[in-house]
Amino acid sequence: MSRTLIIVGILLIVLGILWPWLQKSGLGRLPGDIVIERDNFRFYFPITTTIIVSIMMTLLFWLFRK
């Protein structure tokens, strides 16, 4: 359990450091992400981004497990 928490912590630190470059790559604005804009209201649901991040995290955890 402690090893998993350490790995998650390291991944969050790396993600925080890389965040400016990830935003420039368009990771939050992919086709398939839902954006609804109206007067004084904006709803954003990143479906495609969530799926891609989930796949990447699954692969990373799978690689660390082996």
Q: Give residue limits of the domains in the chain.
A: 2-65
19-62, pLDDT tens digit by residue? 888 777 777 778 888 989 999 999 988 899 889 889 988 998 88
Q: How far apart are CA 7 and CA 2, in angstroms?
A: 9
3-state secondary structure of 24: helix
Over residues 10-29, the pLDDT tens digits come to: 988 998 898 888 777 777 77
- Indicate the SS3 state at residue 50: helix
Given this model, what pLDDT does residue 23 score? 75
What pLDDT, on the 0 to 100 scale, is given for residue 53? 85
Provide the pLDDT for residue 39.
Answer: 92
Count CA within 13 A, CB hemisphere, residue 34. 5
Q: Are the C-beta atoms of 36 and 47 separated by less than 8 Å?
A: no
